[in-house]
């Protein structure tokens, strides 16, 4: 796929803002007229619930496509925004495909069949560095890594980068890590400023200039089954993500 930008939003940690980032960027992109596909790779299916509600329980999900090559289950969210939902079964996918040859390229091959139908595809990864995340790295042009501001923020980041380097030196030479996003930043907390300084010292330009501030609206929006752009387009979270999107587009150019 020449024109589609495929972004894996990944981290070995949960609760850092992967799903929030996928939902918000997807909503922003689609509102700008860019045809966007969200792919929920996580058995927790938070991204699916954000857009389709917690009761949405379709027969066909990403699991069927990846485990038995069923056609990709695409559901329309709104104009320019589609989603491939996840299901609890995704938790067993590792085991189901473990002995399959070329198990790392399943997702890439599925997405290739879309033939540039989308401008952007955003992959919301699970919080483990297992075979599902390797599939995402193999399918993507770019990885972005949300890091939330806590005492162990940078722990495991090197392993993630190393894994991305392994994938880019073999299965997917066109893969870049495009950046680390500082998320859940408390402006008034000294720990957060220390974490930021530490990340910028170690990872330099890899860290996006824009930070995503801690913002109560971000917590409320998914409870209403809404992304924050639909819930409150003027909140700090929406503003921060809009600034971040500009930086992401700049890096991908």
Residues forming contacts to ligand ADP in the complex (CB under 6 A) are 11, 14-20, 46, 127, 183-184, 212, 214-215, 218-219, 222, 237
| Contact partner, 214, from Mg ion, ligand ADP, none, Cβ < 5-8 Å per class | ligand ADP
Beta carbon nearer to ligand ADP, 103 or 233: 233
In the complex, minimum distance from the CB of residue 242 to ligand ADP, in angstroms, rounded to a whole number: 14
Residues from 21 through 80 that contact Mg ion (CB under 5 A)? 46
- Which residue, chain included where needed, has tokens 């806590």? 150
Does 142 sit near Mg ion (CB under 5 A)?
no
Beta carbon nearer to Mg ion, 46 or 61: 46
Two structure tokens written together for 142: 């770019």
Does 168 sit near Mg ion (CB under 5 A)?
no
Two structure tokens written together for 223: 């409870």
Of 1, 57, 50, residue with least CA distance to 21: 50
| Contact partner, 31, from ligand ADP, Mg ion, none, Cβ < 5-8 Å per class | none
Residue 34: exposed, middle, or buried by beta-carbon count in 10 A (0-12, 13-18, 19+)?
Answer: middle
- Which residue, chain included where needed, has tokens 């960027």? 25
Beta carbon nearer to ligand ADP, 36 or 215: 215
Please list the residues that pair with 75 across neighbouring strands.
83
Phi/psi of residue 82, nearest 5 degrees: -125, 160
Interface pick for Mg ion out of 4, 11, 19, 135 (rule CB under 5 A)? 19
| Contact partner, 219, from Mg ion, ligand ADP, none, Cβ < 5-8 Å per class | ligand ADP
Please list the residues that pair with 39 across neighbouring strands.
84, 123
- Which residue, chain included where needed, has tokens 């990340």? 199
Interface pick for Mg ion out of 5, 12, 18, 108 (rule CB under 5 A)? 18
Report the C-alpha gap between 220 and 184 in whole angstroms: 14
Which residues make up the interface to Mg ion (CB under 5 A)? Answer: 18-19, 46
């Amino acid at each position: 796929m020449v024109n589609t930008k495929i972004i894996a939003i990944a981290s070995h940690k949960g609760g850092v803002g992967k799903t929030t980032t996928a939902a918000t960027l997807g909503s922003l992109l689609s509102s700008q007229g860019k045809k966007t596909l969200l792919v929920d790779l996580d058995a927790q299916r938070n991204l699916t619930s954000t857009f389709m509600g917690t009761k949405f329980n379709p027969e066909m999900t990403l699991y069927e496509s990846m485990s038995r090559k069923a056609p990709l289950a695409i559901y329309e969210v709104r104009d320019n925004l589609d989603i491939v939902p996840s299901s609890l079964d995704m938790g067993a996918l590792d085991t189901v495909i473990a002995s399959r040859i070329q198990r790392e390229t399943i997702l890439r091959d599925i997405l290739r069949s879309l033939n540039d139908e989308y401008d952007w595809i955003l992959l919301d990864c699970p919080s483990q560095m297992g075979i599902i995340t390797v599939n995402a790295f193999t399918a993507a042009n770019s990885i972005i890594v949300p890091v939330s501001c806590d005492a162990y923020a940078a722990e495991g980041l090197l392993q993630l980068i190393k894994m991305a380097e392994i994938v880019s030196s073999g299965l997917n030479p066109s893969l870049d890590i495009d950046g680390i996003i500082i998320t859940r930043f408390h402006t008034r907390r000294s720990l957060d400023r220390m974490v930021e300084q530490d990340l910028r010292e170690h990872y330099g330009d890899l860290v996006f200039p824009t930070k995503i501030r801690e913002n109560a609206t971000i917590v409320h929006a998914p409870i209403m089954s809404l992304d924050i752009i639909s819930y409150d387009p003027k909140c700090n979270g929406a503003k921060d993500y809009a600034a971040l999107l500009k930086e992401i587009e700049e890096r991908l150019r």
